[in-house]
Every structure is written in structure tokens, then in C-alpha cells.
Structure 1
């Protein structure tokens, strides 16, 4: 986060206010998200979020507050329903991918995941030695996430479902078809989630925008993340219907390297770029950051997770020098 502040200072005058969420908020206030912090986030133009969890809070007993509840509380309290996960392997890092270079060259895709419905938010419980989780979607929930996907697509939306088995997926497919009719400039194809998981590694460059429901998106977005070779490279955004969005790196808090100066700041820089593009309408500055990241890596910058030895400070200086 300190590196992100330096990047923002380099770009111009931003009024920045820092608040606690997740584990830090549990330590300070006994809860992962206070009402005051939620109110401050709602009043902001955008929210830049660091990692929220860590093993020191994982060992607490059942019913204890969890850091992840802070993120879920932000999403609910700010009415964020769309998660955006861009995956664009940087040319200088193609050899870091677990896939062959020729398989991922030209990949530039966006996963648009619905955040507020589906099996994660349906009724759940246990009856004796049985357990159940309920998947529910409404037409309204599907329509609004589909509109986001079509508004961001350049050429095609691939809607991912399990319509051969699930009734919610059949409603999903029908609703997406209706939304697509109002976006004739964008092609639509449907793909079953098992096939989508296979095609992501077989021909990732064939995708433009992947639109999918909550649980499928949770799984596919992490699979897509590894196309780049390091989860430390990827940003994400959670947005709603006009209010401020939340922008954050995909990676966790990495407590094993906290305070060592070895953390890769590039995903946070990418998150700043997404914040500028989708949250603050500053496309030019977003493009400047992404270009600086590319040039720094082309110049040989490699943090430990990328097989190099550059420290957080060295990586920050390299990006700022290319801005």
C-alpha cells in the first residue's frame, strides 16, 4: 500500500484517507469492518484495498470474527455485484507461465463474475448426517451483471453456465440471451463450465470477456490468474451500479514475507490502474501505469516470486522511473 501511495503521488494530487479493515480492524476494534469505515468508503470516489487476512486470525474458534468478513461486508454495504479480473500475460513474462509461450501469446481476457447471488448466498444447513446449500438467482441479478459484461466487451462475451444440469443456469442462459439482443455489436456464445475450464488452458487467447455466476467465477478466475505465472501480478475490481468500487490485488497477505521488503508490488500497481480506469475515469493515467509495468519488466525487473531478487523498493523505483 505504501508503494501505491508513492505511485499516486507521482500521478498528481489525490486526497487519500486510510482506514482499517479485515484483520487489522479485528485487532483494533474487535470487528473486521466498522460502521464508520463503511461510511467512509461509501463517501469516497474509489476504495483501494490491501490484503485482509492471515493465519494469526485463522486459528480462532468457531464464531470468532474473520478478516474475510470485512471484504464481504464492503461488497454488501457498497452494493458491489460485479468482480472484474483482467488476465493479460506480459510479453516479457511469457516464459513464467506454466503453459507454453505459443499457447498464451495474445491472451487478453476479462472475467466478469457475479458477486451477490448463487450458492454462496443461498440457504444452507444440516439435517442429521446431511448438509445442503441452495443456489438461487433472479432475473434482475443476471441482467445487471450481463450488462456489465457486454458494456466492457470488445468483440465477444462467453457466458459460462451449467445449463445442461442446473435450473439456475437455464435461467441464466435465457436472461443473457435477452440482454445480448440489445448489444448487436458484441457476439455471444455459451459454454458449459467444465468445457470452459478446459478451454482456458487449451486456447486462452480465444476468449474476450467471460461472464459467469458467483461460484463458477470464483474458480475460473483463479485458474485464469495462473496463466500469467504469478498471482502476484494480478489486479481486480469489484464494482456496482454507479457508486465507488473496490480495487485490490488478487494475492493474499503473504505473512511469511511481511516486513522483509520482498513483496511484489506490481499487482497493487495494476489495481491502481484499474481504479483510475473504472473508478475515476482517468484512462490516460491507467494506460501510463500499465505501460510502465511492461517497460520495467522488459528491462529485466524480476521480484522473488518471478525468479528474481528485486526488492519491493527496487520494483517500485523501476516502475516509477518508467512512468
Structure 2
């Protein structure tokens, strides 16, 4: 098997972790007679410094013509402390997901017996936890229209979802639940948000095609509580962009460190793989 892999090490520790990942991939290639061709490209703060863009067109072209993307990390403290920055490193990853249609972020959460002491949570609560979060990452409030009044005192962010955007990731999550422990939890805020009510409506309809999968619904605030109180109850969690962004970071304490987790963003034609990082 011969594959081309785009390597976007990005900022900070991204270069170190991608170098180690390449070593692992080369070992796999040697053992199983594969051939991996790695092509490096810029993204994030380094790309801003050199090109003015967190995702240069050349980088996007390289990714679009690759079989997979190996991603490091993006971010720089100088942007975190500057609320007026119009261009930010994180915009590179967001644009990359959108441009390549990487709509589903798949985020496994599990505990390792040898590392269970790394978590601050009670061991008898987290031992055996093993679930996966399916987060929609190419729509929602992060991609909605953003407005700021001329006097800078009023701001708004629009959150929009279509049935098609919900359906495609819901099917992936149901298929995962079908081959796992056959339970899917939709996390929403359907008591107050119209977008959440659409999510719930579509999931209920799609569930008719997966009759062996048990479906439950949790409001996001209650889900955040249950992740800590009883993480073993979960199998597959399905949620929208912003809720998933928050919950995946919260869930990292179950494993003991956000640095122990992996993440994949997949679409119909492309896929991106990355380690998860702390702060």
C-alpha cells in the first residue's frame, strides 16, 4: 500500500509529536510492506508569521491531494491574550476542516489501568470507562455570522444547522454504536435552543433505521455532570460543535491527561488525525 500523508506539525509541541508519529508510521510501513510519502506544510501561528494566513493556499492544496493528514497543534499565547486579534492560529484548523468537509470529529475516551492513578477522579468511578464522542465540526456557532456593533458594546454569533448536516454525522454515530455496546446519547439543549430541537427530531427519525441501538437524550449541563459522576454509562455520545468542544476537554480528566487522547476528523473523501493537547 502506497499512501501520501500531509504533515502539518503546526506550533509548539506539534513538531515533536508529529516526528514521533512519523517514526511509528515508518515502523508500520517496514513491517507490513507499506510505503508512506510524507509532505510537510505550514499551519497556525508559524504560517501567520510567514504568510499572513493560518492556512496558506499551498497547505490546503497539499492536504487536498493527500490520502491523510497528520496534524500537530496550533496556538500561541500571544494570541490568547489579545481579544482584538482578527487572525488567529486556530482558524487554520477550523478552515481546514470546513474546506475538506471533515464534518465528524471522533474522540475516544478510555482509561488505562496502568495510568489510572493519573486522574484526579475516584478510581472506582472511572475504571473501565470506554466511550467515544462524535462531534459535528463544520457548522454551528463557530461558523455562523458574527456581528459587533460600531460602539463595540453589542455582539452576536449565529448558530445554524441543516438536517443534512445533522443526518450525516448521526448515521456515523449510530453505526459506531451498532458495533459497540448499542447505546447512543444525544447531548443537546432542546429545552431552549431551536437548533437542538432540530437535532433531537432528526436523531429520533434516524433511530428508526437502527432499532438495536438504545437512544437517550441529555441536556448539555446534565451531561457535563454525568461525565464526571458516572462516565461508564456512556457508549457513543453525539453532539453539536460547541457542546462537543467543551465536553471532549472535560472528558479528558477521565483518562488522566488530555495528552493521552487521540482525535480524528473525517469526511467523505479526507481524514485528519491528531493528538489532543492541553493548555
Name segments (4+ residues, structure 1) moved above 4 Å: 56-61
1:166 and 1:24 map into 2 onto residues whose CA distance is: 38
How is 1:1-323 mapped onto 2 (pairs within 5 angstroms)? 1-12=18-29, 13-58=35-80, 62-127=84-149, 129-153=153-177, 154=180, 155-241=182-268, 243-251=269-277
Cα deviation for residue 96 of structure 1 reads: 1.3
Query: What secondary structure sits across from 1:16 in the alignment?
Result: strand
Q: Deviations over 1:218-276 (max 9, x none)?
A: 111111111111111111111112x1211111105x7xxxxxxxxxxxxxxxxxxxxxx
Taking structure 2 as the reference length, the TM-score comes to 0.85
Higher percent of residues as helix: 1
**CA RMSD after TM alignment:** 1.7
| SS of equivalent to 2:129 | coil
CA shift in 2, pair 1:175/1:61, >3 Å = closer
**Residue aligning to 2:15:** none
Q: Tell me, in whole angstroms, the C-alpha distance in 1 between the residues paired with 2:250 and 2:221.
A: 12
Distance 1:181 1:52, change over 3 A: same
> Size of the alignment, in residue pairs?
252
> Match of 2:140, SS?
coil
Query: Is the alpha carbon distance of 1:187 and 1:3 closer, same or farther for their aligned partners in structure 2, counting shifts above 3 Å?
Result: same
The SS at the match of 1:181 is helix
In 2, Cα distance between equivalents of 1:68 and 1:90: 30
The CA distance in 1 between the partners of 2:76 and 2:39, in whole Å, is 23
Please report the TM-score for the alignment, with normalisation by the length of structure 1. 0.74
Q: How far apart are the structure 2 equivalents of 1:163 and 1:61?
A: 31
Q: Which has the higher strand share?
A: 2
Name the CA distance, whole Å, in 2 between partners of 1:93 and 1:105.
Answer: 10
